[in-house]
Structure 1
Amino acid sequence: MTDPVISLKNATVTVGNQTEILKGLNLDIYPGDFITVLGTNGAGKSTLFNTISGDLELSAGSVFHQGKDITKVPAVKRTSFIARVFQDPKVGTAPRMTVAENLLLAEKRGSKRTLRNRRLTAEKLDHYRELTAKMGNNLEDRLQTAAGSLSGGQRQALSFLMAIQVKPGLLLLDEHTAALDPKTSAQLMDATNHQVVDNHLTALMITHNLADALTYGNRLIVLNAGNVVLDVAGADKDALTEENLLEYFVH
């Protein structure tokens, strides 16, 4: 069997002296998994992502990357194999830089970022135009526009493309469509799915949209009180309904 990209073993996060946010959570993420993540507020979704990214230390347990213990590896070093897109479209892009410059900067993910010797050649611009055209929101026409002048949907699409500019070992999508209007959210979700599937990315996506959780991805997990209470894939996932999932949100 293929080894996991990321494994969490008995992952525990305790706040203060007694409040456990993650409670001995175990999760294996395999190459090519596109996992939708559901859970009520306070279930541990963001804490799970922060633990994987290295932004939050475990109180107990371990995190492994391709079998190597990275529990003590800081977040900045994990950026060489983990990329993340946040809910806020303003996060993840440099507002005064153009779309093309942001994409060029993203090619430095995991290494020291600098604008020295940056070269926006005609060949690169053609590549960026082709890349952005796949997002379906006319971003390809705004390559020379400052990111801060984009619409929310275009800026979030740019954040997403920056995250996958250098293929990450794991892509964390942290409610990346939640701040957008329904039409723009659906458009970005469709583009996200195509990019993840076509590029064989491994991804976790937090969502509160039950329909999206059922429609996208090959695997679905539900968190409750700091642990995984449902983990389904394949035919078992296909058989789920929104009514099934709602049962996990009843207290």
Structure 2
Amino acid sequence: MTNPVFSLKEATVTVPNGTTIMDHLNLDIYPEDFITVLGTNGAGKSTLFNVISGDLPLSSGRVEHNGEDITAVPAVKRTAFLARVFQDPKLGTAPRMTVAENLLLAEKRGFRRTLKNRQLTAKKLEKYYDLTKTMGNNLEDRLQTATGSLSGGQRQALSFLMATQVKPGLLLLDEHTAALDPKTSDQLMAATNHQVKDNHLTSLMITHNLKDALTYGNRLIVLNAGKIILDVRDEEKEALTETDLLRYFTR
């Protein structure tokens, strides 16, 4: 197996009241892993993502990116290789900017960001039309629309495209379909799976949907009390059922 893209080694987070919310967690994430992440409320899913993104410092242990220790690297610098899509469709986009302007801004992830109208050339708009059309929700017809006027599903689709437009070293999908209706959620999940596979992305996806956790990705982990209590991939993951997973929610 190739070397991991991202690793947590004995990662521990203890909050001021003495509670340990991540307990000596070890995780290696390999190139093109698509890992679905399950766990009850308070199991440590958000803590895991916040540690990876740099928004939550470790009490002990280390974080590595391509073998380099980045434990002390702040969140803003990690955006050069990491992207995150949140549950709330309002996060991750600029509401007063158009769809096209948001996409233009996203192209500059990891670089100094400036926006000039002259940069929105006909060629750029054609590129964004083709890109947004892949989402299957008519977003391509809203390129000149202020993002704040989009539906929740369209805005979340835009957030996803912005996160993946410049291929990230690691993509974090933080319950990115949870706030959507079932039809829109299914539509975005299908588009997500397509983009992750076709662009060979490495991704972690938090979900409470057991069906989605089993359907998508090559690997599945279950968290409990800040620890990984199940980590399966490929054939072992494919053999799991929803009944199997429910056992981990009744402990």
Distance 2:91 2:156 in 1: 9
Cα separation, 2, equivalents of 1:154 and 1:15: 37
Q: Contact (CA 8 Å) 1:34, 1:219: kept in 2 or not?
A: yes
Q: Which residue number in structure 1 is paired with residue 130 of structure 2?
A: 130
RMSD: 0.8
Q: Structure 1, residues 154-188: CA drift from partner, whole Å, max 9, x if none? A: 00000000001110000000000000000000000
| 2:16 aligned with 1:16 | yes
Following the alignment from structure 2 to structure 1, what is the Cα–Cα distance between the partners of residues 111 and 47? 25
The answer on 1:166 being equivalent to 2:172 is: no
Q: How many residues align?
A: 251
Q: Aligned partners of 1:45 and 1:112: how far apart in 2?
A: 31
**Letter paired with 2:212:** D
Q: Could you list the runs of 5+ residues in structure 2 that have no partner in the other structure?
A: none
Which amino acid in structure 1 is aligned with residue 11 of structure 2? A
Quote how far apart the aligned CAs of 1:112 are: 2.1
SS of the aligned residue for 1:168 comes to coil
Structure 1 runs not aligned, ≥5 long: none
- Using the TM superposition, name which of 104-113 and 33-42 deviates more: 104-113
For 1:111 and 1:76, the matched residues in 2 are separated by 11
Q: Take 1:191 and 1:177, find their aligned partners in 2: how far apart are those partners? A: 11
Counterpart for residue 180 of structure 1? 180
1:117: how far off? 6.5
Contact 1:22/1:225 (<8 A) preserved: yes
Structure 1 length-normalised TM: 0.99
Consecutive aligned runs of 4 or more in structure 1 exceeding 6 Å deviation = none
TM-score normalised by length of structure 2? 0.99
Counterpart of 2:243 in structure 1 is: 243
**Aligned residues of 1:54 and 1:73 also touching (Cα < 8 A):** yes
1:216-231 superposed matches below 5 A: 216-231=216-231
Task: Indicate conservation of the 8 Å contact 1:104/1:118, yes or no.
Answer: no
What is the identity, as a one-letter code, of the residue corresponding to 2:194? H
Provide the identity percentage: 79
Superposed CA deviations along residues 100-133 of structure 1, whole A, max 9, x for unmatched, are 0000000111122221465111111111000100
1:111–1:118 CA distance, 2 compared to 1 (3 A): farther
Corresponding position of 1:204: 204
